[in-house]
Structure 1
Amino acid sequence: MNISLYFFIMNSITFIFLVCLYALFFIYEAIGGIKIENQIFYCSMLIIAFGIPHGALDHILFFKKRNTSQVKFYSIYLGLVLFFILLWIYYPTLSLTLFLIISAFHFGESQFEDIDIKKYSNSLLLYLVWGLSLLINLIFYNVDELNVLTTLFKDTEPFYYLYNHKFVTYGFISFNLVTIGLLFNLLHNKIINWNKLLSELFLFGLIHLTFFLFPFIIGFTLYFVILHSIRVMKYEYDFFKKESNNFNLFVFVKLVTPYTLLSLFFSGFVFILSSKDIISISIPLLSLIIISAITLPHAIVMHIFYHEK
């Protein structure tokens, strides 16, 4: 491969992802796998460490784009959180389905935030289909593991039917073909060039490889931490840096710390209640509820931020 083309394809985030992929694969093979308990513990720590901070600036980003009162913003934001929690209590399967769709759109939108895509008529479809491809690929390569994990807890058993092998296989083929077709359509409409297309296809292939090589929890953590959370935080940092030359990493950490600590305290408190059986919800389901409840308003704020940049 031509050296200049290689560097077009291999941006900094992709390079970090590839290094971590190689390193973790060799470690994983050397020790003969990682116990599920350790996977859950260490991956949860990484998701919390990077996932919560990447959404801790929603209030600041929103007010950079919209002139709305703080009372109105927080009322709507917290109202959406409460709404999704209640939806989970009464309609868990519907809630999981909505969570996957919202997450898919959010992942796809963040993936293409560096492209001037406003004039592309299929931009919303691209975001959704790319994200759905990501999630269906993760499920496809780990469907047997997911079925086992789902049946470990009584309150997650209803989700077993979402991982139907035939549906997952059809979805895997369909969403991947449509995603690749839409990427070529971006090239056809001159929204991206060949270098960007090859970069996206290269990364898409790396994600496939990651989900194929690793168990569900590790594969998702690698994607979520490096390709999503760090990528979004880098974009947020660059945005604030453009607004002020005095902005630096220390200031950025100060900005994300208050709401990160608040979220950690609340999540930890709820998990303790679950472990003590004060809340009769398993920790895996509780994790889904908390993450999805936060994701809904976060995805809306980031959509406004990306769309009005």
Structure 2
Amino acid sequence: MTNSNNFGIVISFFGLWITTYFSIEYQQTIGFAIIFLFGILHGSNDLKLISKINQGETATIGKKILLYYIIFVFFGVVLFYVLPKIALILFLIVSAYHFGEQHWNILNTKKASKTVIAFQTTYGLFILTLLFNFHQEEVRKIIGQIINVPITSVNFSYCLIVIGVLLFVTGLLLVRKNPIFSKEIMVNIVYLILFGIIFRNANLIWAFAIYFVVWHSLPSIKEQIYFLYGEYSLKNFVQYFKSAFAYWILSLIGILLLYVLFKDQEIFKALFFSFLAAITFPHTLVIMKMQSINKNNV
């Protein structure tokens, strides 16, 4: 168990404690606040990562990459407007893989294994579905607003069972092939139990914020700092924050505009998650490339 995971457990229990003393409205407000502060921040340094990944490229190619990144974000926004069902499915799959890859990056090797990729994606889907299962009515409402179609017939409990079986099967395949995975099984079962307790007792936004920030964003920031500067330290975190600041502020301004325009409407949550999706697509590709370089350096 790493120090980061020990920290995650302590903060998660603190987050669980907050659910017993703060109303749903306060939980939601705190949840949005830490997502804005750290969740958005962890994806705000993609351009710096791209620069590091392509450090041998010319300035002209660097500008092209920046243009492609902006186009990719714009494409995500348009896709949610034109084909919301397809966009939502892609968002869930991409996010699931992104969560699973981060959580199980110890499985990454030079040669990408289809079994590892399948397991990481299924793990991420299980986390998302576990969250949805405890907030079914609210999640149905948000998804319905995103795709403009009511989904009252969807039962996330059944989805959780199916994905749980797939997770078990892919896990069994890894047990036979990967000794590192075998050593991590029991502690990660404990993590899943902890996530389930948090998801069940916390407001949807607060529950998502605890996992997204504590178990995904903060470890990702640490990993990115190692990649960019060679070691994790306060000084390097400050450098990371400075290089991410402009993009982070622009993202916050975009979300703030959504809040000002739609704060009194239920559709704000749908727009918020659609906004996250638009910036998640290119971010996931950047992190995949970073992970690929890290694998080659193993």
Q: TM-score, normalised by structure 1?
A: 0.82
- 1:75-130 CA-to-partner distances (Å, cap 9, x unmatched) read 21111111121122222233222211111111111112233334433122122111
Unaligned runs of 5+ in 2: none
Mapping for residues 1-309 of structure 1, pairs under 5 Å: 8=1, 11-29=2-20, 31=21, 34-35=23-24, 37-66=25-54, 67=57, 69-119=61-111, 120-147=113-140, 149-150=141-142, 155-156=145-146, 158=148, 160-161=150-151, 164-165=154-155, 168-192=156-180, 194-242=182-230, 248-274=236-262, 282-309=267-294
TM-superposed deviation, 1:179: 1.7
- Give the residue type in structure 2 aligned to 1:34: S
Cα distance in 2 for residues equivalent to 1:191 and 1:258: 43
Runs of 4+ in 1 over 6 A off after TM superposition: 243-246
Do 1:84 and 1:95's aligned partners in 2 also have CA atoms closer than 8 Å? yes
Give SS of 1:164's match: coil
Do 2:49 and 2:228's aligned partners in 1 also have CA atoms closer than 8 Å? no
Cα gap change, 1:259/1:213 in structure 2, threshold over 3 Å: closer, same or farther?
A: same
Cα distance in 2 for residues equivalent to 1:282 and 1:212: 23
Cα gap change, 1:246/1:52 in structure 2, threshold over 3 Å: closer, same or farther?
A: closer
Do 2:100 and 2:124's aligned partners in 1 also have CA atoms closer than 8 Å? yes
Cα gap change, 1:45/1:197 in structure 2, threshold over 3 Å: closer, same or farther?
A: same
TM-superposed deviation, 1:150: 3.6
Do 1:117 and 1:191's aligned partners in 2 also have CA atoms closer than 8 Å? no
Do 2:135 and 2:204's aligned partners in 1 also have CA atoms closer than 8 Å? yes
- Give the residue type in structure 2 aligned to 1:161: I
TM-superposed deviation, 1:260: 1.2
Question: What fraction of aligned residue pairs are identical, expressed as a percent?
Answer: 24
Give SS of 1:117's match: coil
TM-superposed deviation, 1:39: 3.1
Cα gap change, 1:273/1:244 in structure 2, threshold over 3 Å: closer, same or farther?
A: closer
TM-superposed deviation, 1:209: 2.5
Q: TM-score, normalised by structure 2?
A: 0.85
CA RMSD between the two structures: 2.9
